[in-house]
Structure 1
C-alpha cells in the first residue's frame, strides 16, 4: 500500500546578496563599457589635438598645462549649445530678459563714468558711445559677469561634440596660442559656455582680428582694462563697416496686405519706397521721404513686431548673427539716450 503522507512542496530560498550584486554588475556592464569607450575616445582626441597644437608652434608646456585638467566633455556646455535663447525665444521674451530699468540706469551711469575714453574711442572709430555701452551691457552686464566657464574646456567640449566641430577646434588652437603668448593666465581665461572671452566676449579668433591696446601700455587686456575693452568693441564694429552718422533701424507698422516677398535682408529699398508700400512709423506718422535704404524684418512673423533696419544693423549682425540680438542692442542703445 502506498503511504498517504502529504506531499511536500518545494521551497526556493531567496536570492543571496552575492546573486543581486552579480545581476547589478551584468546590467551595468554595457553602460560602463560605453562610458569607458567614450572616455577613451575623448582622451585619444585630446592627444591628437596636443600634437597639432605643438606642430602649430605652441609650446608643449602651455598645451599640457591647459589640457591636463580636462577628462571628459562638459555636459553643461553641450546643454547650452542645444538651447540657445537667440534661437528659441520670441523677440519679446528675449528682449524682456535683456532690457529692464536696472540695465538702462546702469548703462546711463557708465556713459557718465567714462567720458574721456568713450570720447577718444568715438572720435577714432566713428562708433557712437551708446552702442558700445549697449553691447557691453547685453554681453556682460557692463563687465559684472563675463562667464565662469573655463574657455579651454568649453572649446574642447564643443570641438569634440559640436555640430560645428571644425570651427571650435580652430578657436581652441587660437585660445592656446593666446595663453602661450602671455596675454592672459589660464586661471583668468574664463568666459561663456561657447568660449567667448572677456568683457566684450570675443572668440579667440576675434581677439586676434579686433582686440586693441587702447591705453598703449603694451598689453591687450579685454578682461579688465576699460580703454582696451571700448577700443576693441569699436574696432570690431568699424571693421564690420559701421556707417558714421546713421542709426541702426526703427520699429514700424505694416499694412495687412503687404507683399510678404518684401520681408528679409535681401530686399533693400529707400525709405520713400517703403512709405509707398504703406509702412509707417510706430506712432503711425509717415516715414521720411528719404533715399536711405532699408530692409524690413519680422523676427516672429508679421503678427509680431516689425523693423526697418539699415547698414548698421548688418554691422551688429557681424557681431552676432541673431536678429533678436541685434535688435536688442539697438533698442537698448536708443533707450540709453532717451530723455527721462
Structure 2
C-alpha cells in the first residue's frame, strides 16, 4: 500500500441496481448506524474535531443503502500494458492535455519552479486522475465514508478517512455541500482522499483554502506538492524509452544511467542518457517489446498509484503532452498475458525456491521482476529479462519439482 492509497480506495465499484436493492432491504437500522458513529467521537476528538462539528455532521445521517462493499477488478493489474496505454494515452486525452498546458500556462509558470516538478507531469496527472477536472463524483463524502466505515469495519482505512473528512469540516474552509467525492472518498481534480487533502492540498495563489473541486490551479499545485513531498528529484526524467544493443548483458536490471550507456544502451530518440542517477531496466513485454530505463522519479509516480501500468501511462502521456512522439518499440505479436492466478503461482514458486519474499497477490511489481530475473540467471535462461511468461512458469514448476538440473 503506497502513501496515498488510491489503489485500495478506488478499487471499490458501484453496485448494480439489483445489488443496491438487496443492500437496501438488508440495511441495518438507523439506530445501529448512529450508535456506531457515536462511538467514533473519541477518535474525532483526539484529532481536534469540535463536538459541535461532530454532532452537526452526524445529525440525521442515514447509511447509504447503495454504497458498494465489494472490490472490482483493477485495469492497472488485469490488462496488458499495451491495452491499458491505448485507453490511458488516447489521442483525445493528449489533445486536451496540450490545451490545458496552454490554458494554465500563467499558473504553471509559478507552480513549476515552486515545486520542481515539470508542468507536463502535473497536467498529465490531472488528466489521468479526473480528465482535467471533468470527472469528479458528487457524492456526499461524509455519508459515503460513514457508510463504508460502518459496513466495512474490517477495513480501518475507511474509518480513518471518515475522521479525516470531519477534520476538514472542522477547519471551516470547506462547506459540507462542497465536500464531495467518490464512494471511496477520492476528491476533486487530484482525486485526493481526505487524509491526503489535509497533508498535501495547497492553493496556487497562497490563499488558505485549497479548492481542488473548482480551481484547476489549486489541483495542479496540490499534485505538485504531493509529488515533491514524495521525493521528486528536479532535473530527472520519469523514465526513458531505450534501445538495447544485440547481446545485451542482462546480469543486472539495476545500474546507473552511465553504466547502461557504457553497455551500449541508447535512448529511442537518440538523445543522451542522463549523466547522473540510478536506473532500472523495465521490459513490460519481455526483451522482444519496448524497453524503458526508469529513474528514481518513476517510483514517486507510483506513490500516487502503485501500478506500473498507471505510472508508465502517466509518464508517456506527459511526454506526448510536451510534444514528444509516441513509442518507437513494438509490442510482441501474440503475447500471452498471464492471469492473476498464474502470476500468484509464479510468486509462490519463487518464494518456495528462495527468490521472493513479497506478497502472493498476483500483481507483478519490481520485487517480482527482480525475483524472476534472479531465477532466470540461476537456471541460465537467456535473456534474463525479468518478464513473467508461461515459459518462466513452466521452468519454475520443474524447478520446484526438482527436475531442473
TM-score, normalised by the number of residues in structure 2:
0.64
Residue 180 of structure 1 pairs with residue 180 of structure 2: no
Once the two structures are superposed, residues 98-143 of structure 1 have per-residue CA deviations (whole angstroms, 9 ceiling, x without a partner) of 2211111111111111111100011211111101100110111111
Aligned twin of 1:7: none
Aligned twin of 1:47: 38
Residue correspondences, number? 303
Alignment of 1:137-152 (within 5 A): 137-152=127-142
Describe the shift of the 1:286–1:117 C-alpha distance in structure 2 as closer, same or farther (beyond 3 A).
closer
Aligned twin of 1:125: 115
Aligned twin of 1:308: 293
Describe the shift of the 1:72–1:200 C-alpha distance in structure 2 as closer, same or farther (beyond 3 A).
same
Name the SS of the counterpart of 2:208 in structure 1. Answer: coil
8 Å contact kept, 1:298–1:304 = yes
Q: 1:318 Cα deviation (Å)? A: 1.6
Residue 93 of structure 1 pairs with residue 105 of structure 2: no
Once the two structures are superposed, residues 257-279 of structure 1 have per-residue CA deviations (whole angstroms, 9 ceiling, x without a partner) of 9898845xxxx312344457776
Could you tell me which runs of 5 or more consecutive residues in structure 1 were left unpaired when the two chains were aligned.
1-30
8 Å contact kept, 2:47–2:167 = no
Computed over aligned residues only, the root mean square deviation of the Cα atoms, in angstroms, reads 3.4
Name the SS of the counterpart of 1:109 in structure 2. Answer: helix
Aligned twin of 1:335: 320
8 Å contact kept, 1:77–1:154 = no
Match of 2:281 among 293, 296, 302: 296
8 Å contact kept, 2:149–2:155 = yes
CA distance in 2, matches of 1:301, 1:41: 54
8 Å contact kept, 1:183–1:221 = no
CA distance in 2, matches of 1:298, 1:58: 49
Match of 2:212 among 207, 211, 222: 222
Match of 1:324 among 280, 294, 309: 309
Could you tell me which runs of 5 or more consecutive residues in structure 2 were left unpaired when the two chains were aligned.
1-21, 326-405
Residue 249 of structure 1 pairs with residue 234 of structure 2: no
Describe the shift of the 1:288–1:125 C-alpha distance in structure 2 as closer, same or farther (beyond 3 A).
closer
CA distance in 1, matches of 2:39, 2:197: 25
8 Å contact kept, 2:104–2:217 = no
Name the SS of the counterpart of 2:68 in structure 1. Answer: helix
Residue 271 of structure 1 pairs with residue 261 of structure 2: no
Name the SS of the counterpart of 1:78 in structure 2. Answer: coil
Describe the shift of the 1:338–1:286 C-alpha distance in structure 2 as closer, same or farther (beyond 3 A).
closer
Describe the shift of the 1:215–1:38 C-alpha distance in structure 2 as closer, same or farther (beyond 3 A).
same
Aligned twin of 1:58: 49
Match of 2:226 among 236, 251, 255: 236
8 Å contact kept, 1:146–1:198 = yes
Q: 1:42 Cα deviation (Å)? A: 4.5
Describe the shift of the 1:304–1:157 C-alpha distance in structure 2 as closer, same or farther (beyond 3 A).
farther
CA distance in 2, matches of 1:253, 1:181: 52
Shifted more, 118-127 versus 251-260: the winner is 251-260
Name the SS of the counterpart of 2:183 in structure 1. Answer: coil
Shifted more, 89-98 versus 238-247: the winner is 89-98
CA distance in 2, matches of 1:192, 1:210: 19
CA distance in 1, matches of 2:289, 2:182: 30
8 Å contact kept, 1:134–1:333 = yes
TM-score, normalised by the number of residues in structure 1:
0.75
Name the SS of the counterpart of 1:179 in structure 2. Answer: helix
Alignment of 1:98-117 (within 5 A): 98-117=88-107
Aligned twin of 2:58: 67
